[in-house]
Structure 1
Amino acid sequence: MELLNDMALFIEVANVLSFRRAADATGVPNSTLSRRISALEKAIGLRLLHRTTRRVELTEAGQLYYERCRRIVDEARIAHEQLGEMLAQPSGILRASLPVDFATVYLAPLIADFSRRYPGISFDFDLTPRRVDLVSEPFDVAIRMGELPDSTLIARQLARLSVQVYASPRYLEMSGEPAAPSDLAKHECLGFSKAGKWKLHRGAETVEVDVGGRFHVNSVGMFRRLATLDLGVIMLPEEIVADDIAAGRLRRILRDWEGIETPVYALTETRLLPAKTQRFIEFLQERLSNKSHRPNP
C-alpha cells in the first residue's frame, strides 16, 4: 500500500512538474513529497526526476515509469470509487437464514421495504427450522430468536421483544379466563416439548408456573395455529401473533403480566461484512428497535 501511495504522489508531481504545485494539490508538505519520491527512486534504483532550483523534469526512466504507473493509479482510484458506489447502493445476492414464523408474519413487510430501498440486491432466504452452519454454508447472515449458545460467531442484537399470554375468545368461553398466573396450571398450555415452566413477571415480581397440555410441538406456527383453533393458551411475542390479534382470533390475557423478553440477533461469521449484509442488519436494527413502528400487513 505504501508503494501505491508513493506511486500516486509521483504521478501528481509528474503531472505538474512541480513539487510545490503537487503539494498544494495533494495536501502533502513539499518536504514530505521530496522525501517520498527520493525513497521511491532508491527502492527502484533509478532516478525518476531531474531536480533543479528552477524546474523539475522527467528522466527517461521517469517517463516510462509515469506512463505505466498512471494507469495503475487510475485503476486504483476507479476501484475505490466503485467500492464507494457499492457502499452507497449495494448489490449482489443476500443469503439469509430466518426464523420461519417471525419472518413470515413480521419480517416480510420489512424485507419488502428493504428491497425497495436497495433494488440492486437479490435475495435467497432459508426458512427451515434447522440451525444453518455459517462457516461451511454460503449464508451471509442468520437471524435468530432467543438466548444464544456460546459460539465463535459474531452476534449483533437487533431487538428485545416483549412476550405476553394469549388465547382465543372461544377457548376462554369454554375454559374460563385465568385471573392469575397460577391459574395457568389448570389450562391447556401450548408450547415446545421442553417448556414445562412458564416464567412471568409484573414489575419486580416474578413467578414460575408449571404448565402442561396434550399438545407439545416444535413449531411456533403450529401451536399458534392450534391456539386460534381454541385448543389452548400460548405465550409468544406480540410481533408473531399481531395478525391474529387484529383479526380477533386471539386475545391477550393476564394483561398485568409478561413473559421474559425474547432477544433477536443477527449472526455472522465475521465482522468484515459486504455492504449488502451490513445494510440489511442496520435496517433491521433500526426498524425492530423502533417498537412504535408497526409494519403494514
Structure 2
Amino acid sequence: MDLSALADFNLVAAHGGFGKASRFSGRPKATLSRRVMDLEQSLGVRLLERGARSLRLTEEGQVLHERTHGLLGDILEAGELVSAGQTSPRGYLRVSAPVLFSHTLVGRLAAGFARRYPQVRLDITAEDRNVDLVEDGYDVVIRVNPKADALLVGRCFARDDMLLVAPAALPRPSVSCDGEIAEVPAVALANRFDKGPWHYQDGDTLGTVMPDVRLRLSSLIMIRDAVLAGAGAALIPRSLLQRDEQLAKLSIWGRMPDRPIELWALHASRRLVSRKVTAFIDYLCEAFPDQILGHGFSAD
C-alpha cells in the first residue's frame, strides 16, 4: 500500500471533501483525487462515494480511515522529523475539551501553546459529550472525572473543589437536635438529577442540607449568576468564585468532600505517541504546577 496515497485519502476523509482538503493542505484537488483513485485501484474497493455536491465514505473507506489515520499521522510526522533533523512538534492537533473549562481558561492556554509551538496547528472544540477519539478524529480529549478506559491513557493535570454556596442573605440552617435535615431553596444543573442530600464540610464541622430545587439551569456559570442574584444555594466549583465582588455577595457553607473534581488529558493507548500530543499534555501539566485549577495557570 502506498503510504502517500493513504495519507491523501485520510486528509480528504478528515476534511469531508477534496476542496476543503485542498485548501487546508495547499495541494491541488486534481492531485488529491488522482491519488485516492490510485489507492482505490490498488485495494480493489471503492473508498469514497462521490456525488454532485457531496462526498461520503463507503463502509470500506470508513474502516480504513478509522484504523489508519492516527498511526499514519504519527509515522509521517516521525519521518518528517528524522529527515529534517528536527525535534520540535508539528502538524495538526485536534482536542476536545469541556465547555466550562474551555470558556474560562482554554483561550489563554491555547494562545500560550501556539506561541511555544508555532508549527502545531491547534484545533480545540468545546463540548461536553463523551467523544470517541478514533471515530471523531481527536488526538486528545480533556475530561472531568473520567471512568477507567483500557483504550485511553493520560495524566491528571488539575483539580478543583466543589463548594456549597448560597446568597449572603440566606441563613445557614442550624443542626437539628432530632436529626431532621433542613431544606434550603436551591439551584441545580438541568441535566443532572440531584435530589440530595448535600453533605458538606466546613473545617472540622460536617453539615447536611436537603436541596429544594426551584431552578434548573444547563450551565454552572448560569447557576453561579443565579446564586449571586439570590435564587438559592448551589454546588459550584471553587475556580468559578475568584472575584472579590462575587465573594462579597456569597456565603460559602463548605466543601463537598464526596464530589472531587479532576481534569484529565487523555489520548489513545497505543505505543507510538505523537510528539505534538506529548507536548500538549506536558504543557497542560506545566500550566498548573500545583494542580489547583482555581489558582489559574503559569505557562507561557
Shorter-chain TM range is 0.5 to 0.7
> CA 1:141 to 1:208, structure 2 compared with 1: closer, same or farther past 3 Å?
farther
**Inter-partner Cα distance in structure 2 for 1:79 and 1:128:** 32
- Output one character per residue of 1:196-239: Cα deviation in whole Å (capped at 9) or x when no partner: 22332346765554323112234323323323333222222222
> CA 1:179 to 1:132, structure 2 compared with 1: closer, same or farther past 3 Å?
same
Counterpart AA for 1:294: G
Question: 3-state SS of the aligned residue for 1:188?
Answer: strand
Aligned to 1:135: 134
**Inter-partner Cα distance in structure 1 for 2:81 and 2:148:** 40
> CA 1:227 to 1:136, structure 2 compared with 1: closer, same or farther past 3 Å?
same
Q: Is the 8 A contact 1:187 1:233 kept in 2?
A: yes
Structure 2: stretches of 5+ with no match in the other structure: 1-77
- Output one character per residue of 1:129-162: Cα deviation in whole Å (capped at 9) or x when no partner: 2221112111011111124255532242122212
Q: Is the 8 A contact 1:96 1:125 kept in 2?
A: yes
> CA 1:113 to 1:141, structure 2 compared with 1: closer, same or farther past 3 Å?
same
**Inter-partner Cα distance in structure 1 for 2:107 and 2:251:** 27
Q: Is the 8 A contact 1:109 1:295 kept in 2?
A: no
Scaled by the length of structure 1, the TM-score of the pair is 0.59
**Inter-partner Cα distance in structure 1 for 2:105 and 2:175:** 29
Question: 3-state SS of the aligned residue for 1:164?
Answer: strand
Counterpart AA for 2:82: H
Structure 1 residue 177: deviation in Å?
Answer: 4.8
Q: Is the 8 A contact 2:160 2:262 kept in 1?
A: yes
Higher helix share: 1
Scaled by the length of structure 2, the TM-score of the pair is 0.59
- Output one character per residue of 1:2-47: Cα deviation in whole Å (capped at 9) or x when no partner: xxxxxxxxxxxxxxxxxxxxxxxxxxxxxxxxxxxxxxxxxxxxxx
Q: How many residues align?
A: 212
Query: What is the correspondence of 1:232-251 to structure 2 with a 5 Å cutoff?
Result: 232-242=232-242, 245-248=243-246, 251=249
Aligned to 1:189: 187
> CA 1:246 to 1:137, structure 2 compared with 1: closer, same or farther past 3 Å?
same
Structure 1: stretches of 5+ with no match in the other structure: 1-75
Aligned to 2:230: 230
**Inter-partner Cα distance in structure 2 for 1:228 and 1:144:** 27
Aligned to 2:82: 80
Q: Please, what is the CA RMSD of the aligned residues?
A: 3.4
Bigger Rg over Cα: 1
Structure 1 residue 269: deviation in Å?
Answer: 1.7
**Inter-partner Cα distance in structure 2 for 1:77 and 1:216:** 52
Q: Is the 8 A contact 1:94 1:121 kept in 2?
A: yes
**Inter-partner Cα distance in structure 1 for 2:154 and 2:194:** 25
Counterpart AA for 1:85: Q
Aligned to 1:199: 199
Q: Is the 8 A contact 1:163 1:262 kept in 2?
A: yes
> CA 1:210 to 1:178, structure 2 compared with 1: closer, same or farther past 3 Å?
closer
Q: Is the 8 A contact 1:179 1:254 kept in 2?
A: no
